[in-house]
Amino acid sequence: MLYQIHEWQRAFLGPLSHFAEASARMLNEPGNPMSQWPGTQRMAAGYELIHRLGKDYEKPAFDIHSVEAHGHEIAVIERVALDTPFCQLKRFKRFSDDPATIEAMKNEPVVLVVAPLSGHHATLLRDTVRTLLREHKVYVTDWVDARMVPTDAGPFGLDDYVALIEQCIRHIGADHLHVISVCQPTVPVLAAVSLMAARGEATPRSLTMMGGPIDPRRSPTSVNNLATTQPLSWFKGNVIHTVPANYPGHGREVYPGFLQHAGFIAMNPSRHLQSHWDFYQNLLRGDLEDAQSHRKFYDEYNAVLDMPAEFYLDTIATVFQQFLLPRGLWDVAGERVNPAAIKHSALLTVEGELDDIAGLGQTQAAHDLCSGIPAKRRAHKVIEGAGHYGIFSGRRWREVVYPQVRDFIRKFDQATG
């Protein structure tokens, strides 16, 4: 019922938001004599703020059409390499007319970026992907909004996630692949590679795990505490809802994106309130650059997706309540997950000093579990002054984290014995 109420609210706010947008544009139009009247700028700013608070935020595009590489502007085309009901494996194919650049790109490492299925779309990693494209062939997991997946596609739980990661690795080819997992997928990626190693399959040349809850018992954050202070039945009863009839996934149980977004805002409401007030003031001052930065950030931040209920509840129970991976008790589809079976993949873990989502030590725990990887093939980095998003997006990612990730991948971009 809550989901349906949200849809009614969205239907009510939609026309108001469109009216506010049209009014703001009309009042800001230089050819409109009213734009010069006293108080018009304040009215236009207020209308735009109303528009942005009430609008429906659709999934953003990756919008990566070119990158600077090897001293040239390289064209980039986004392709679907593997299409499944719950995820599209995207490849960002690079093109150049320069023979030397083409030859150089042929020999560059192949990277699979596993994006989180945790509320935001994979486009949250746009900066990660764009930076990697300078010197790598890049694939990324682009998760499908569960409300858009018909019920006849079946359920999607944590075991299915692990199996999908295995499928992506095999599709690309493990022998020449490097996997980067950001936040939530560090756990299923480690499970997938562990299972492949235990079966004797080829595993990726390197695993880079960034800000993930490998062992949430270490330096628990408010996110971890919420999961441990409430029973699983509380999550089932309070955050799981049924997709209404106006979506292809009608009848599917999900953790709705709008509830996740409310949770994001509740973590720091004063900061978001101040941000919107600053946006309003920037519009009044005519500070268009800062206003545009606000728009770009919230176009991404406010765009959320529904998660399959099975996956969400499995993750709460397995990762955050029972800690099955670090305790060595996790079975996926009847197979025990044993990270010690990984012997030929190099391991890099990256943590932010100020991460308030995955606390210090949670990702580093992977080294204790991956005891089969020689110490000379493992590394751990703590990024000073970085929060959760800073380790994969923004200036600190580009200038501090990326060079270390790139060098680690290059070091182990060779056949392993």
CATH number of 74's domain: 3.40.50.1820
Residue 37 has pLDDT above 80, yes or no: no
User: Residue 252: inside a domain, yes or no?
Assistant: no
Q: Are residues 31 and 145 in the same domain?
A: no
User: Residue 189: inside a domain, yes or no?
Assistant: yes
Q: Are residues 70 and 132 in the same domain?
A: yes
User: Residue 12: inside a domain, yes or no?
Assistant: yes
Backbone angles phi, psi at 401, to 5 degrees: -75, -50
Question: Which residues have a Cβ under 8 Å from the Cβ of 229 and sit 6 or more positions away?
Answer: none
**Which two three-digit tokens encode residue 24?**
């703001």
Q: Are residues 206 and 334 in the same domain?
A: yes
User: Residue 251: inside a domain, yes or no?
Assistant: no
User: Residue 321: inside a domain, yes or no?
Assistant: yes
Distinct helix (H) and strand (E) counts, the chain: 16, 14
Q: Are residues 394 and 320 in the same domain?
A: yes
- Poorest-pLDDT segment among 77-86, 187-196, 289-298, 403-412: 289-298
Coil/strand/helix, residue 208: strand
Q: State which of 301, 332, 354 marks the end of a domain.
A: 301
Backbone angles phi, psi at 143, to 5 degrees: -75, 145
Q: What is the pLDDT of residue 415?
A: 55
Q: How far apart are CA 96 and CA 75, in angstroms?
A: 7
Q: Are residues 114 and 179 in the same domain?
A: yes
Q: Are residues 338 and 314 in the same domain?
A: yes
Q: Are residues 146 and 209 in the same domain?
A: yes
User: CA angle, 304 as apex, 298 and 305 as ends, to 5°?
Assistant: 165
Q: What is the pLDDT of residue 267?
A: 67
| CB neighbours of residue 61 within 10 Å | 11
Name which residue leads in pLDDT, 281 or 54. Answer: 281
Pick from 259, 272, 298: which is nearest to 52 by CA?
Answer: 298
How many separate domains does the chain show? 2
Q: Please name every residue paired with 346 in a beta bridge, in sequence order, or none if there are none.
A: 206
Q: Are residues 134 and 168 in the same domain?
A: yes
Q: Which helix (H) or strand (E) holds 299?
A: helix 288-301
User: Residue 394: inside a domain, yes or no?
Assistant: yes
Q: Are residues 148 and 289 in the same domain?
A: no
Q: State which of 247, 273, 301 marks the end of a domain.
A: 301
Q: State which of 280, 301, 322 marks the end of a domain.
A: 301
Q: Are residues 286 and 355 in the same domain?
A: no
Looking up tokens 């973590």 gives 267
Looking up tokens 């009044």 gives 284
Confidence bin at 111 (pLDDT 50/70/90): very high
Q: Are residues 288 and 405 in the same domain?
A: no
**In Å, how far are 92, 211, 216, 357 from 354, measured between CA atoms?**
31, 11, 16, 9
Q: Name the average pLDDT for the chain.
A: 91
Per the structure, the complete domain to which residue 276 belongs is given by 2-56+257-301
What mean pLDDT comes out for the span 184-190?
97
Q: Are residues 71 and 44 in the same domain?
A: no
User: Residue 239: inside a domain, yes or no?
Assistant: no
Residue 372 has pLDDT above 60, yes or no: yes
Q: What percent of the chain lies above the pLDDT cut of 90?
A: 66
Q: How far apart are CA 259 and CA 350, in angstroms?
A: 29
User: Residue 100: inside a domain, yes or no?
Assistant: yes
pTM: 0.89
